[in-house]
Chains A and B, each alone.
Chain A
């Protein structure tokens, strides 16, 4: 829509103003790392963060949420609960932005999930262009997520003393004009923005040995690849890789009752296909028993299955699963291994 300029000194007042009307969530330091969490003081916001432990998915699909409350007894009643509130999600990197677009598809197709969609509807996304690689584990350039054309309301690019703000939606424009003090970009600003954007690309390296668009076809030949057994031997089935993945959205649903057993809540919580019981039915049959099969399922979902369903790859190259794996399993190395032996 338009390009605006926000001085860095105007960010804190903007956040402060937003906090009056919104839950503001953004990257902040937690020990030596960063997390997305509710901002209670503008000084907590760290737009210079590299990556976060959990992706901003946690704002749109919380690790645990209420789906309903119920009353038990002779005339049981159940009432849907939608946990959504007006939220501004600040500082989303473009890899995570691509992931959110996949979540949007997953939760809106065929049977729309009102819990996710209402939260999504009430969330204004202010994303942030990455100008430096976050660390040696990310491979966004290979996955085509190093930049984004859509999926945000406002998109920031650091120009040094100020941010260029790409205003993409009506909602973003309103937010910026109501709560912030930005000015329209001049020809000089646009020139500076273009310089910054072209200068960033050489700083990022390709990690995949082939074009990511080939992944679905490549994986369709790799179902019986020896890699799966090798990964199965190393995997501890802890589920960390799926917990930190920005496109993993599988969940478990369970009930909790109060002490009197009269009332309770139906809740859902992130689940992981890497856990032993994920595909086990009550009769005892486990349809994905081997760790090798579970790792294969994760790789297939990221590189093939989700693509077949939604038309976008399930891996955005954020590197979180690699960073977190205590067994040192790397999805990008795995993809390269398969490519190398194809």
Chain B
């Protein structure tokens, strides 16, 4: 039989967990429990037969695979709304992993500053947990996470664990608090004054809604972190994931193949990027 790059593999949902009103965490097992073989920052095309396909970042770290991988998915379009109606034991199609992830080998020995906003934590968590599983190979680990409201914070168990760890500097903020929130209130940029960094030895990693980038980038550049050491994970519409369909093009770059992880130096001045 001919192999097609568009042929999905049918994978079983082994667990589905409601995380927030809009986001669920799906634990996925490929046939025979074979490894996805992904790198942090890569994505898969999720296929629901009869509905369609959508690109979804892999949120689990390769260092914690156990024959499974995880997808943190917001219900927002046709595929993701249908996916949210599915239960453990049901099957979804998977193609991938695709794209260039975070170059973790270039980050070893350095301080790593993570600045995810909202759902932007999903792709970054893959790298965060990989870094924490190789904790000794990195300098400082700083996590500055912002969400709109306390109810929208993702991976709350892990957030608590990161806050509690002595070897992680984790600060969390929400744009607007509520009766239960005792933490910091303010947009993500209000966290930046709380940490000082050695810019030459710091790698920054950010992902969030398009509006967030310009403000977070200003903070990172303001701290003197070189443009080549700032990594962003971008979102685009994709129909193939393999550099053919054209939907994800950012000027001359294909988000699916050249990205989804780019350095700021790569996309600075590329108008369609941010």
Partner of B236, one of A110, A250, A251, A281: A281
Q: Which of A146-154, A206-214, A252-260, A333-341 contacts B (4 or more CB under 8 A)?
A: A252-260
The stretch among A66-74, A125-133, A188-196 that forms the contact with chain B is A66-74
**In contact, B249 and A80 (Cβ under 8 angstroms):** no
Task: Select which of A77, A223, A282 is within 8 A of B76 by beta carbon.
Answer: A282
User: Which residues on the A side are within 8 Å of B1 (C-beta)?
Assistant: 80
CB atoms of A82 and B2 under 8 A apart: yes
Interchain CB contact under 8 A, B49 and A78? yes
- CB-CB under 8 A from B5, the residues of chain A are 111-114
Contact across chains for B52 and A68 when beta carbons are under 8 A apart:
no
Binds B, one of A2-10, A93-101, A233-241, A285-293: A285-293
The residues of A that contact B52 with a CB separation of less than 8 Å are 253-255
- B245, A261: Cβ atoms under 8 Å? no
For B247, list chain A residues within 8 Å (CB): 250, 252, 271, 278-279
B252 within 8 A of A: yes
Given contacts A72-B50, A264-B50, A287-B272, contact A280 B237 (CB under 8 A): yes
- CB neighbours (8 Å) of A249 from chain B are 244, 246
Q: Once bound together, how far apart are the Cα atoms of A316 and B101, in whole Å?
A: 36
Q: Is the CB of B257 within 8 A of A110?
A: yes
In the assembled complex, B136 has its CB within 8 A of some CB on chain A: no
Stretch from A171-179, A301-309, A317-325 forming part of the interface with B = A301-309
Chain A interface residue number, banded: 35 or more
**Is there an interface contact between A309 and B78, defined as CB atoms closer than 8 Å?**
no
Q: Which of A46-79 contact B (CB under 8 A)?
A: 67-68, 70-72, 74-78
CA distance A82 to B1 in the complex (A): 10
- Which of B65-112 touch A at CB < 8 Å? 74, 76-80, 90-91, 93
Report the minimal beta-carbon distance from B250 to chain A, rounded to whole angstroms. 7
Most buried by B among A78, A279, A282: A282
Contact of B246 among A70, A77, A261, A271 (CB under 8 A): A271
Nearest chain A CB to B110 CB, angstrom units? 30
Which residues of B are found within 8 Å of A223, using beta-carbon distances? 271
A300: Cβ under 8 A from any B Cβ: yes
User: Is there a chain A Cβ closer than 8 Å to B10's Cβ?
Assistant: yes
Q: 1/0 per position for A120-138, CB-CB distance to B under 8 A?
A: 0000000000000000000
Q: Which residue on B lies nearest to A82, using beta carbons?
A: B2
Bound CA span A113–B210, Å: 32
Q: Could you say which of B7, B210, B250 contacts A68, with CB atoms under 8 Å apart?
A: B7
User: Which of chain B's residues 32-46 have a Cβ closer than 8 Å to chain A?
Assistant: none
B54 interface residue (CB < 8 Å to A): yes
Which chain B residues numbered 118 to 151 have a C-beta less than 8 Å away from chain A? none
Query: In whole angstroms, how far apart are the Cα atoms of A293 and B47 in the complex?
Result: 31
Are B51 and A255 neighbours in the complex by a CB distance under 8 Å? yes
Contact A282:B54 (CB < 8 A) given known A250-B245, A308-B252: yes
Given contacts A257-B50, A279-B247, contact A111 B242 (CB under 8 A): yes
Instruction: Sort chain B's interface into a size bin.
Output: 35 or more
Find chain A residues with CB under 8 A from B80 CB. 282
The answer to whether A115 has its CB under 8 Å from any CB of chain B is yes
- Distance to closest chain A CB from B111 (angstroms): 31
B239 beta carbon closer than 8 Å to chain A? yes
Tell me, yes or no, whether B4 is within 8 Å of chain A by CB. yes
0 or 1 for each of B143-187: is its CB under 8 Å from A? (1 = yes): 000000000000000000000000000000000000000000000
Rounded to whole angstroms, the CA-CA distance of A114 and B4 in the bound complex is 6
Considering the complex, give the chain B residue whose CB is closest to the CB of A286.
Answer: B237
Per-position 1/0 for B231-242, Cβ under 8 A of A: 000011101101
For A107, list chain B residues within 8 Å (CB).
Answer: 244
Residue of B nearest to A293 (CB): B272
Measured in the bound complex, the distance between the Cα atoms of B77 and A223 in whole Å is: 32
CA distance A74 to B49 in the complex (A): 12
Q: Cβ of B4 and Cβ of A115 under 8 Å apart?
A: yes
A68:B244 contact, CB within 8 angstroms: no
Would you call A80 and B50 a contact (CB within 8 A)? Answer: no
Does B53 sit at the interface, judged by CB under 8 A? yes
Residue B6 interfacial (CB < 8 Å) = yes
The answer for the CA separation of A273 and B271 in the assembled complex, in Å, is 16
Whether the Cβ atoms of B239 and A251 lie closer than 8 Å is: yes
Given B4, B8, B49, which contacts A82 in the complex, CB threshold below 8 Å?
B4
B187: shortest Cβ distance to chain A, in Å? 19
Complex contact A67–B4 (CB within 8 A): yes
Residue of A nearest to B93 (CB): A78
Say yes or no: A261-B50 contact (C-beta < 8 A), given A68-B7, A282-B78.
yes
Q: For residue A304, which residues in chain B have a CB less than 8 angstroms away from its CB?
A: 252
Question: A80 contacts which of B3, B242, B257 (Cβ < 8 Å)?
Answer: B3
**In the assembled complex, B199 has its CB within 8 A of some CB on chain A:** no
When C-beta atoms are compared, the residue in chain B nearest to A306 turns out to be B252
Bound CA span A112–B4, Å: 8
A281 touches B6 (CB 8 A): no
Query: Which A residues touch B210, using CB under 8 A?
Result: 285
Complex: how many Å from CA A254 to CA B239?
A: 9
**Is residue A38 contacting chain B, with contact meaning CB distance below 8 A?**
no
Task: Tell yes or no: A226 within 8 A of B by CB.
Answer: no
Q: Write the residues of chain B forming the contact surface with A, with a CB cutoff of 8 angstroms.
A: 1-8, 10, 47, 49-54, 74, 76-80, 90-91, 93, 210, 235-237, 239-240, 242-252, 257, 271-272
- 11 A-B pairs with CB atoms under 8 Å apart are A67-B4, A75-B91, A78-B7, A78-B93, A80-B6, A110-B243, A118-B2, A252-B245, A271-B247, A279-B247, A279-B249
Q: Which 6 A-B pairs have the closest CB atoms?
A: A282-B77, A250-B246, A111-B242, A80-B4, A305-B252, A70-B49
